[in-house]
Amino acid sequence: MVHVRISWYPFLMVSRGNVLTQIRRALRRSRVVGLVGPRQAGKTTLARAIVPATDVNYFDLEDPASLARLTEPATALSRLRGVVVIDEVQRRPDLFPVLRVLADRKPLPARFLILGSASPELLRQSSESLAGRLETIEVAGFSLGEVGRKAREAHWLRGGFPPSFLARSAADSAAWRRVFVRTFLERDMPQLGVTIPAAAMLRFWTMVAHVHGNVWSAADPARSLGVSEPTVRRYLDLMSGVLMLRILPPWHANLGKRQVKSPKVYLRDSGILHHLLGVERVRDLLSHPKCGASWEGYVIEEIFKEVQPDQAYFWATHQGAELDLLLQKGGRRYGVEIKRADAPRLTPSMRLALDDLDIERLIVLYPGSRTYALTERVDVVPMLEFVTGGWQQWLRPPRRRGRAATPGGSVLGSSPN
C-alpha cells in the first residue's frame, strides 16, 4: 500500500491501496497493463510499489541507463520473469511490436506494466500492436476518498496532482501549478508530437477555463484566437486526449423535445482550473463567479474516480430542463444533480428527468451533512458521503414506498408528477 506523508497536515496519510489493487488484479488477468494519465499524477509511484525502481525488471525511459539496457529490446526483455515495468513507454514506440511477441509466449514468463501519457501516438501504437492483449487503467491525481474528508477544502482548491496537494503552503501549491502548466505546454506537448505554439495553447486553455461547465461552442474561441472552428475543435480534442479536459457528451433521444446536442467541457483538475482563473486561496474561490461551476466540475471528477461508470452524459433541453449527470452503471441508468445549496429541493428539471429519461433513481449531491428523501426516487445525499465510498447504496433501485417529506416539512406523493 502506498502511503505519502502530507507536510501541511502531519498526521494524515494518503493511501492509494484501491488503485494498487486494481492494477494487481489487472496484471493477473491481462498480459500487458497500461497506466495512462498526465505527468505527475502518481503513475510512477504506483508502479514502484509493485516493482522497485532498483529492480532489474524496472525500466525508466527517461534514464540513460535504462535506455542503454534496451539497445536490443527483445534480448533484454525476453529473459525477465515476473512483472516488468516500462515507464514513459511513449518514448520508444518501437517497443510495442516487441511486447506483442513477448506477450504471446506460452507459458507466459512475464507480464508487462507500461506507463505513459495518454497521447494519441501512444494509444495508436498500443491499439495496433497490442490489440486483445492490453488492459488500460487511467490514473488521475489523488481522489477525495484517498486524502480524507477533512482535506476537502484544500483538495478542491489545489486539485489532485500530488505535488500540488502536498505542497507546504497555498503559495507553494500555486507556484507548482504555474510551473507545471508552462512545462506541460513547452516540453510535454511537443514530445507528444503537438506542434501548436505554447502561447496559443495557453490562451486556448485559459479560454476553456472561463467556460468550464458550459455547453461547448467553438465560435467564440475561434474568433479570439484568429483560427477556424475546426482548428479549435482540434485543440479541444488534443487537450482531452492528454486527460486535461473532460468532454461530457449530451444524452438525446426521441422525446418530442428540442434537446441540446453539443457537449459540455470541464477541466479535469480543479487546481489547474483555479490557476488559469487566477485563484490562489479559498476566500478568493468562494467569491469568484466560477465558484459554482468549479464545484460542479470537482464533484463530477470525484464521481468518475470513485464510481467509474460504464457511460456518462449530461442532459438538457432548449426549454431549460437539465440534468448534470446521467450515469449508466451495471446495466441501469441513474441521474445525478449537483447543488451547492444548504437544502436542495425538488425542481421542475428533476421531475422532467424522471419522466423522460427512464432513470432508476435521482441523487442530489450537496455540501451538507444530512441525507433526506424528496420523493420515492429522489434523494438528497451529502457529497462527502457519496464520493468517499457510500455511492453503492444509492446507485441501486429504490426500495421505499409511499410518501416522502421535503426538508421544509411538506409532503409529496409517491409519484414525482
| DSSP labels, 210-254 | HTTTSBP-SHHHHHHHTS-HHHHHHHHHHHHHTTSEEEEPBP--S
Q: Who contacts 288 (Cβ-Cβ below 8 Å, separation ≥6)?
A: 277, 279, 294
134, with CB counted inside 10 A (0-12, 13-18, 19+), is buried
In Å, what is the CA distance from 149 to each residue of 21, 99, 155, 231? 22, 41, 9, 41
Using CA atoms, how far apart are residues 275 and 269, in angstroms rounded to an integer? 10
Residue 6, pLDDT above cutoff 80: no
What CATH number is given for 17-138 in this structure?
3.40.50.300
Residue with the three cell numbers 518501437: 94
CATH topology of domain 322-412: Trna Endonuclease; Chain: A, domain 1 (3.40.1350)
Q: Are the C-beta atoms of residues 267 and 213 closer than 8 Å to each other?
A: no
Residue 410, pLDDT above cutoff 50: no
Quote the pLDDT of residue 121.
Answer: 57
Give the residue-averaged pLDDT of 110-116: 93
Give the residue-averaged pLDDT of 254-277: 90
Residue 402, pLDDT above cutoff 60: no
Higher-pLDDT residue of 15 and 24 is 24
For 128-172, how does the pLDDT look when each residue is reduced to its tens digit (9 = 90+)? 778 778 898 989 999 999 999 899 999 999 999 999 999 999 999
Give the residue-averaged pLDDT of 228-237: 94
For 197-209, how does the pLDDT look when each residue is reduced to its tens digit (9 = 90+)? 999 999 999 999 9
56 C-beta neighbours (distance < 10 Å), count: 12
Higher-pLDDT residue of 245 and 193 is 245
Using CA atoms, how far apart are residues 118 and 19, in angstroms rounded to an integer? 18
For 312-366, how does the pLDDT look when each residue is reduced to its tens digit (9 = 90+)? 999 999 888 899 999 999 899 999 999 999 999 999 999 999 988 989 999 999 9
Using only the alpha carbons of the chain, give its radius of gyration.
Answer: 23
Quote the pLDDT of residue 270.
Answer: 97
Give the residue-averaged pLDDT of 277-287: 93
pLDDT band of 301, cuts 50, 70, 90:
very high
- What whole-number percentage of the chain has pLDDT above 70? 89
Residue 265, pLDDT above cutoff 70: yes
pLDDT band of 124, cuts 50, 70, 90:
low
Residue with the three cell numbers 497493463: 33
Residue 413, pLDDT above cutoff 50: no
Using CA atoms, how far apart are residues 38 and 119, in angstroms rounded to an integer? 9
CATH 1.10.10.10 fits 144-300, yes or no: yes
pTM, two decimals, is 0.87
For 373-394, how does the pLDDT look when each residue is reduced to its tens digit (9 = 90+)? 999 999 999 999 999 988 988 8
Using CA atoms, how far apart are residues 116 and 38, in angstroms rounded to an integer? 8
Q: Long-range contacts: 253-258, Cβ < 8 Å, 24+? A: 253/356, 253/357, 255/356, 257/317, 257/318, 257/319, 257/321, 257/356, 258/317, 258/318, 258/319
Give the residue-averaged pLDDT of 217-237: 93
pLDDT band of 292, cuts 50, 70, 90:
very high
Residue 11, pLDDT above cutoff 70: no
* Fold match flag (144-300 vs 322-412): no
Residue 243 region by backbone torsions, left for phi larger than 0, else alpha for psi between -120 and 50, else beta: left
Give the residue from 330, 397, 326 showing the smallest Cα distance to 360: 397
Using CA atoms, how far apart are residues 415 and 73, in angstroms rounded to an integer? 65
Q: Are the C-beta atoms of residues 212 and 290 closer than 8 Å to each other?
A: yes
Q: What would the grid cell of residue 84 be?
A: 516488468
Q: Are the C-beta atoms of residues 40 and 162 closer than 8 Å to each other?
A: yes
Using CA atoms, how far apart are residues 335 and 360, in angstroms rounded to an integer? 8
Residue 264, pLDDT above cutoff 90: yes
Residue 59, pLDDT above cutoff 60: yes
Domain locations in the chain as residue ranges = 17-138, 144-300, 322-412
